[in-house]
Amino acid sequence: MNYLSERSEGICLLRLLHFIRKDRKHKNLNNKKIIQLLPYQPPFLFVEELTQVSENGVEGFYTFKEDEYFYQGHFKGNPVTPGVILTEVMAQIGVVCLGIALLKEEVSKNQKPQIALTSNEIDFFLPVYPKERVKVVSEKLYFRFNKLKCKVQLFNENNELVCRGTISGMLKPNEILK
């Protein structure tokens, strides 16, 4: 091989690497786009902000509004966020948002994911009250055959552990919506 062919092969390789990196940037979803792709809407959307998203986990926040529908009856005169809602917050941020990020090439505005919670095991330690902002930290345990299992923790504003556990779900791209 002569110098010119080695040099041109090197230039071609550099161009190819640049194209791959440029293309990869376009396929990464930003945090706001992930939230837009969630298959939920108020009053059952419990994701306000994502601060970290990687292939290994996600971190996000939600603030419980004083007028949330579930506070009317849980509990009379002493509103406390139900455990099932805390579990839903952890599932939406810790599993669904992460799943959308992992399926980034297969989901879009017209092709939102289908989601089914398959199992969860959660331990609760502290109550959450109206107007509290909570942080969810999720760590991917595995993602294979469209099943995502995560270790998930929820913290209050004082960074105290409110609840933790594992949540699993099945995620697959939906048929293209027309």
Interval 146-166: pLDDT, tens: 899 999 999 999 999 999 999
Q: pLDDT for 58-95, tens place per residue?
A: 999 999 999 999 999 999 899 999 999 999 999 999 99
Catalytic residue among 74, 112, 151, 164: 74
pLDDT for the residue 171: 84
pLDDT at 108 over 70: no
In a domain, 101, yes or no: yes
Burial 63-84 (b: 16+ CB within 10 A, else e): ebeeebeebeebeeeebebeee
Please report which helix (H) or strand (E) contains residue 115, including its range. strand 113-124
Q: Does residue 10 sit within a domain?
A: no
Between residues 109 and 156, which one has the greater pLDDT?
156
Average pLDDT, the chain: 84
Q: In DSSP terms, which residues pair with 108 in a beta bridge?
A: 111
Domain assignment present for 154 = yes
Looking at residue 114, its pLDDT comes to: 79
- CATH number for the domain that contains residue 79: 3.10.129.10
Taking the C-alpha atoms of residue 94 and residue 85, their distance in angstroms, rounded to an integer, is 14
Known catalytic membership, residue 18: no
Total domains in the chain come to: 1
Query: Per-residue confidence at 105, pLDDT binned at 50, 70, 90?
Result: confident
Q: What is the pLDDT of residue 178?
A: 43
pLDDT at 139 over 90: yes
Task: Specify if 162 maps to a domain.
Answer: yes
Is 17 part of a structural domain of the chain? Answer: no
Q: Which domain holds residue 135?
A: 29-173
